[in-house]
Amino acid sequence: MARWKRGLDQKAFAFDCEIGRTQLYMNENEETNPGLLPLIKIANGLEVSLRDLVKV
């Protein structure tokens, strides 16, 4: 995960992205399908494009 490679703490990163830590955790562990807005916030927080974030 890009967040880990950058050494970003999950709680602080979720706060910076204005999403819940639990939501971030569930997204990272594929326990839920994220909506578009959280994906945009995460991409912005990682300074990557949405396209790069969701590449499979």
Q: How far apart are CA 41 and CA 3, in angstroms?
A: 13
Q: How far apart are CA 26 and CA 49, in angstroms?
A: 21
Tokens 């569930």: give the residue. 26
Tokens encoding 27 = 């997204």
Q: What is the pLDDT of residues 3-55, one digit of tens each?
A: 888 889 999 999 999 999 999 999 989 999 989 999 999 999 999 999 998 88
Q: How far apart are CA 5 and CA 20, in angstroms?
A: 20
Tokens encoding 16 = 């910076």
pLDDT tops 70 at residue 1: no
- Decide: pTM greater than 0.75: yes
Domain extents for the chain? 2-53
Query: What confidence score (pLDDT) does residue 18 get?
Result: 94
CATH class of 2-53: mainly alpha
